[in-house]
Chain A
């Protein structure tokens, strides 16, 4: 089974509107981490936001928020007030393990296009 599933290969959003990028995960570990990364056309992977499996509150970082629904095993990224510079690939990822035995799993990505 896929560890991370992103079902939206591509998304369009109008500038200044909010957009939700979907992510579901599969794990039997009680302790895990969920992440979103942005990859612009330059190729660099940029860390956006982190949610721990034991965190009660949804993570927020500026215009990014992570809608964590543990029972549904979903970790959707919400970008508010989209900007043209948000156009990029977005990857959802999960970390299993601890200490020196971490392993990260990545989804297939969602390409976001922000329209002016």
Chain B
């Protein structure tokens, strides 16, 4: 149990385009979802926390107009990188947590390369 999927796993796009990443909890209801960014050989950096039906809470320094997060249902959250630029290239990981779960469960991640 506790499986989280994330799509796409890889995306290459041109500068200026928008990219949407989906995160789904497959076998549990995720009351909370987290979005992280990870640079090579570094730790995870929390970008935002979203609770189903509520607006996402963004960490300091993360542009909410740049990284749009929607948590429309108990099994789906999306992250849209708007007008992507090369500096947005990174590994993006989502995680999901159910109401009575102790830990978050991670998706496999999405590698974004902006040319």
Residues in A lying within 8 Å of B, measured CB to CB: 33, 35, 37, 42-47, 50, 52, 91, 95, 99-100, 102-104, 106-109
Contact = CB atoms under 8 A, between A and B. Distances in A.
Given A35-B103, A108-B43, A102 B108 contact: no
14 contacts: A42-B108, A43-B109, A44-B106, A44-B107, A44-B108, A45-B109, A52-B102, A95-B102, A102-B32, A102-B49, A103-B49, A107-B43, A108-B42, A109-B42
A38 B109 CA distance: 14
Given A43-B109, A99-B99, A104 B43 contact: no
A5 B97 CA distance: 24
B102 A33 contact: yes
Instruction: Label chain A's interface by main secondary structure.
Output: strand
Nearest to A52: B102
Interface residues of B, number: 24
Contact of B103 (A44, A50, A99): A50
Contacts of A91: 43-44
Interface string B98-115: 010011111111010000
B31 interface: yes
B44 A50 contact: no
A50 to B, nearest CB: 5
Given A43-B91, A43-B109, A103 B43 contact: no
